[in-house]
Amino acid sequence: MDIYYDPLFLEHRHIPGHPESPSRLISIVKGLEESPLSFRFLKGSAASAEQLGTVHSHSYIDGIRQWRIRYLDQETPVYPSTYSISAMAAGCAISSTLHSIESGGCVMALIRPPGHHSGKDYGGGFCYFNNAAVAARNCGQSRCAIVDIDVHHGNGTSDIFYGERNVLYISTHQSGIYPGTGEAREIGSGEGEYFNLNLPLPSGSGDSTFDFAFDSVIMPVLRQYSPGVIIVSLGIDAHYLDPLASLTLSTGGYVKCISRLASLGPPLSIVLEGGYNPDALSDVVCGLVAGVCGEPYNTRFDVVHDRKGVGIGWVRSSLDIFSSHWRL
């Protein structure tokens, strides 16, 4: 698999103990390099202000670039280096998406800082520029799907495309945690009605619940929408080892979700979002490279906590709303 990555991402550092740390990417890169898997790292180029401006307001972009904005929220400080590193993250997401379209295959952007909590003129939740949204707006496709499996709702991505149908946004996330948005009734507005699909899930939801959500909603909607590319906002914080939240996907559960998306047909661009247990990050990324490439690899964290589908009732409630528009 081709993977866009840049050592510059390791220069983005918060105070010690902050969960969004360089060790996240260090662990993934080490795991890949020590594995027998077939992959190569490619260098992207930073997104230009013009490319960022397809999503973000110029006053927000300049505020970060000129270091006039110093804090997006308490846990998301802006540093003098933030602009160049975040622009590189967004640029790698664009490159990954364009490369997946050219090759018709699956490409990954191993990037930080993450992006899905960043909207047109705001950031927060460790996010500055919305990498997946910038990729969607710069990939030249008339229909683009963003599937967000981070444990948190991607409020930024949702806001950006809320009134549009050119970009379909589907999010699975834990209900009742940061940022507090992402109810099933938030379906988009105007032209975008029914093109913003939220699948909030209760604590404990994992492999069986995700199986059901993919079978009953995500796969049929994507088949009907038939996008030119699928961008995955890959948060690995829905893993049972994650310290910040309490969904319970196993590594195998993640690999299955991504393999199913890869099987649909459209090119797949996987863009890293959150995930705060470095060992789980490495396990999931190596597992999904192996899964997509059809190579053997023994993943380590495969305890299935959710066998009965603790969130299936919640998925059914969302499905009832969506079925006014989609054949489900």
Q: What is the closest distance, in whole angstroms, from the C-beta atom of residue 106 to Zn ion in the complex?
A: 22
If you ran DSSP here, which 8-state letter would residue 215 be given?
A: I
Exposed (0-12), middle (13-18) or buried (19+): which is 38, by Cβ within 10 Å? exposed
Residue with tokens 């999010």: 171
- Torsion angle of C-alpha atoms 26, 123, 52, 166, degrees rounded to 10: 100
Q: What is the closest distance, in whole angstroms, from the C-beta atom of residue 200 to Zn ion in the complex?
A: 14
The 152-191 contact track toward Zn ion, x by CB under 5 A, reads: x---------------------------------------
Q: What is the closest distance, in whole angstroms, from the C-beta atom of residue 275 to Zn ion in the complex?
A: 7
The 93-132 contact track toward Zn ion, x by CB under 5 A, reads: ----------------------------------------
Per CB under 5 A, 283 contacts Zn ion:
no
Among the residue ranges 95-103, 146-154, 220-228, 256-264, the one whose residues contact Zn ion (CB under 5 A) = 146-154
Interface residues for Zn ion in 198-257 (CB under 5 A)?
Answer: 235, 237
Q: Do the beta carbons of residue 37 and residue 286 sit within 8 Å? A: yes
**Strand pairing report for 71-73 and 40-42:** unpaired
Kindly tell me which of 130 and 216 has the beta carbon lying closer to Zn ion.
130
Per CB under 5 A, 150 contacts Zn ion:
yes
3-state secondary structure of 153: coil
Strands (E), 117-202: 144-148, 167-174, 196-201
Q: Do the beta carbons of residue 307 and residue 207 sit within 8 Å? A: yes
The question of whether 116 is a catalytic residue gets the answer: no
Kindly tell me which of 177 and 319 has the beta carbon lying closer to Zn ion.
177
Kindly tell me which of 44 and 274 has the beta carbon lying closer to Zn ion.
274
CA angle 308, 309, 310 (to 5 degrees): 100
- Torsion angle of C-alpha atoms 92, 96, 101, 105, degrees rounded to 10: 180
Kindly tell me which of 123 and 274 has the beta carbon lying closer to Zn ion.
274
CB-based closest residue to Zn ion: 274
Kindly tell me which of 150 and 283 has the beta carbon lying closer to Zn ion.
150
Helix axes of 251-262 and 278-293: crossing angle, nearest 10 degrees = 40
Among the residue ranges 15-23, 103-111, 270-278, 292-300, the one whose residues contact Zn ion (CB under 5 A) = 270-278
3-state secondary structure of 201: strand
Q: What is the closest distance, in whole angstroms, from the C-beta atom of residue 242 to Zn ion in the complex?
A: 9
Among the residue ranges 45-53, 59-67, 72-80, 271-279, the one whose residues contact Zn ion (CB under 5 A) = 271-279
Spot the catalytic one: 99, 116, 117, 153. Answer: 117
Kindly tell me which of 192 and 235 has the beta carbon lying closer to Zn ion.
235
Q: What is the closest distance, in whole angstroms, from the C-beta atom of residue 76 to Zn ion in the complex?
A: 13
Cα dist from 296 to 6, 107, 266, 291, whole Å: 27, 19, 24, 8
CA angle 240, 241, 243 (to 5 degrees): 110
Residue positions counted in the chain: 328
Alpha helix locations (H) across 148-277? 155-160, 207-213, 219-225, 251-262
Q: What is the closest distance, in whole angstroms, from the C-beta atom of residue 223 to Zn ion in the complex?
A: 27
Among the residue ranges 46-54, 57-65, 182-190, 273-281, the one whose residues contact Zn ion (CB under 5 A) = 273-281
Interface residues for Zn ion in 16-75 (CB under 5 A)?
Answer: none
Residue burial 129-144, b: 16+ Cβ < 10 Å; e: rest: bbbbbbbbbbbebeeb
Q: What is the closest distance, in whole angstroms, from the C-beta atom of residue 290 to Zn ion in the complex?
A: 24
Kindly tell me which of 19 and 105 has the beta carbon lying closer to Zn ion.
19
Residues near Zn ion, by CB under 5 A: 150, 152, 235, 237, 274
Catalytic residues: 117
